[in-house]
Amino acid sequence: MDFDLIPTEVVELCHRLRQDGFEAYLVGGGVRDLLLGRQVHDWDVATSALPGDVQRLFRRTIPVGIQHGTVAVVLPLGQVEVTTYRGEGAYSDGRHPDSVSFVRTLDEDLQRRDLTINAMALDPIERRVVDPMGGERDLRRRVVRAVGQPRERFAEDGLRTMRAIRFAAVLQFAMDPATQEAISLTLDAFRKVSRERVRDELLKILDARLPSVGLELMRETGLLEQVLPELLVTRGVTQNRYHAEDVYQHSLRACDATMGDALLRLAALVHDVGKPRTAAPHPQHEQEQTFHGHERAGAAIAASIAARLKLSNEQSRRLFHLVLHHNFMLQGWTSAALRRFVRRVGEEQLDDLFALRRGDLIGRDGPDQLERLERVRERIDEVLASRPPLRPSQLAVDGHRLMQHLGLAPGPRVGWLLGQLMERVLDDPALNTEEQLLELAQQL
């Protein structure tokens, strides 16, 4: 481990506390990531000093969680949270401890943490690791293990179950068997956790290099049934000659293969959830099924998932839109059809939509289809390079001009005319001149 990667300001903060007679250690994810050689984004300090002592010693502080012993010290590099050694009472709401008590030693403080790999401390002055829970050993073994009795840790805070799975997925670690078993035994505690916290952990799992690792652990432990029961329904739903796997396994592979942010990967994960509702026997091929309209059914299901996870309005709309339009065809496009496609899905959504379609095709091993997908994108780029009008606002006439020319009063007829003119221009962009559009409007 390279101790020189610890910012000088953070070392000086700890040194200032030591000078005043207090203990001070780096703790939490920063220590874990430093030992793993990963970039550290946040530095946290545990100390024997009380919050009032911290506020007295440092000029700029923010009482971000002073009732729980946490004061943020503002440094040029950002905020560093300094927390008094503490123990915690029961978590009756599955989120916050009912009581917090300050304790005397670092070991007592580390014993309250969730996982051994998060229960290490670092002395930045003497340059040594304090590891009473065996976290450094578990890092070497690449194992996620709860501190102490796993069932007790997870019963205290139900979200710890999902956090354990998230670390296994993000770090690509194995799950300690006793820790994994305890997740299945503490689902009651998990059910108390707010949907917002569950959503945040799910999105972090989807940000892993291979989200399927975490998703499969969620399925095996019963968490997936609590978070995404719609996905479980796709298990065992066979498809057709183009898919060697059932809908569930294909969805996991598509999610892994989709390159983008967590919400785009969520769309890849649920893009086929409408298939169980729309499955029907293939009229020509025995033992195969068709799924006509699964995009619309899936988009409706995605909307209910978004509501349950309390996604923002923008995130909900994006998820619905991606699922609804994911299954676009890969051949037979005319230039006019491509313009209509871009108008329907939105030019700003093309990158996401093609990333999702690419992940979908990789998830079913379709190299020939990938080539077709790239050709479609190339043709769309060629069409867009000519900057064709795609919205009524880009027409050479507007509603006011139509009313003036045709002697119309404001009303739905004007909107209908603009829509008809838009359709003609999508067929032939050369028609987008005032003279030609007014003539067409007169005919209509």
Residues 148 and 123 in one domain: no
Closest by CA to 384, choosing from 432, 338, 433, 431, is: 338
Q: What are phi and psi of 128, to 5 degrees?
A: -145, 155
395 contacts: CB under 8 Å, gap ≥ 6? 389, 418, 421, 422, 425, 432, 437
Mean pLDDT (whole number) for 280-299: 84
The whole-number average pLDDT for the span 77-96 is: 79
Q: Do 237 and 379 share a structural domain?
A: yes
Q: Which is more confident, 116 or 88?
A: 116
Q: Is residue 257 domain-shared with residue 317, that is, in the same domain?
A: yes
Q: Does 98 lie in the same domain as 197?
A: no
Instruction: Label residue 209 exposed, middle or buried (CB < 10 Å: 0-12, 13-18, 19+).
Output: exposed
Residues 350 and 435 occupy one common structural domain: no
Question: If phi over 0 gives left and psi between -120 and 50 gives alpha, with beta otherwise, what is residue 304?
Answer: alpha
177-225 per-position pLDDT tens digit: 999 999 999 999 999 999 999 999 999 999 999 999 999 999 999 999 9
- Residue 94 pLDDT greater than 60, yes or no: no
If one compares 73 and 282, the residue with the highest pLDDT of the two is 73
Angle at 359 between CA 224 and CA 382, to 5 degrees: 145
Residues of the chain above pLDDT 70, percent? 96
The residues, any chain, with a CB within 8 Å of residue 334's CB and separated by 6 or more, are none
Contact 74, 60 (CB under 8 A): yes
Q: Which one of 73, 102, 136 terminates a domain?
A: 136
Q: Supply the mean pLDDT for the chain.
A: 93
Judge contact between 189 and 154, C-beta under 8 A: yes
Domain of 328: which CATH number?
1.10.3210
pLDDT band (50, 70, 90) for residue 283: confident
Q: Strand 280-281 vs strand 289-290: parallel, antiparallel, or unpaired?
A: antiparallel
What number of other Cβ atoms are within 10 A of residue 127's Cβ?
12
Is residue 322 domain-shared with residue 382, that is, in the same domain?
A: yes
Is 202 in the same domain as 290? no
CATH number, domain with residue 76 = 3.30.460.10
Q: What is the structure's pLDDT at 98? A: 64
81 - beta bridge partners?
44, 72
Q: Of 100, 119, 136, which closes a domain?
A: 136
pLDDT of residue 91: 61
What's the rounded Cα separation, in Å, for the pair 254 and 196?
25
- DSSP for 249-292, please give it: HHHHHHHHH--S-HHHHHHHHHTTTTHHHH-EE-SSSTT-EE-T
- pLDDT at position 46 is 97
Name every residue whose Cβ is closer than 8 Å to that of residue 351 and which is 6 or more positions away in sequence: none
Give per-residue pLDDT as tens, 5-22: 999 999 999 999 999 999
Number of domains in the chain: 4
| Position 110 pLDDT exceeds 70 | yes
pLDDT of residue 290: 81
User: Domain end: 136, 160, 185, which one?
Assistant: 136
Do residue 125 and residue 149 come from a single domain? no
Instruction: Give the range of the structural domain holding residue 91, as residue numbers without chain letter.
Output: 3-136
Which of the four pLDDT bands, split at 50, 70 and 90, describes residue 351? Answer: very high
Question: Average pLDDT of 414-431?
Answer: 95
Same domain, 180 and 256: no
Range name among 25-29, 236-240, 398-402 with the lowest pLDDT average: 236-240
| Distance of alpha carbon 444 from alpha carbon 333, whole angstroms | 28
381 with 396, same domain: the answer is no
The answer on 153 and 124 residing in a single domain is no
Same domain, 125 and 234: no
Confidence band (pLDDT; 50, 70, 90) for 136?
very high
pTM over 0.75: yes
Q: What is the pLDDT of residue 244?
A: 73
Is residue 256 scored above 90 in pLDDT? yes
Nearest CA to 78 among 47, 27, 42, 32? 42
pLDDT class for 96, splitting at 50, 70, 90? Answer: low
CA distance 333 to 124: 63
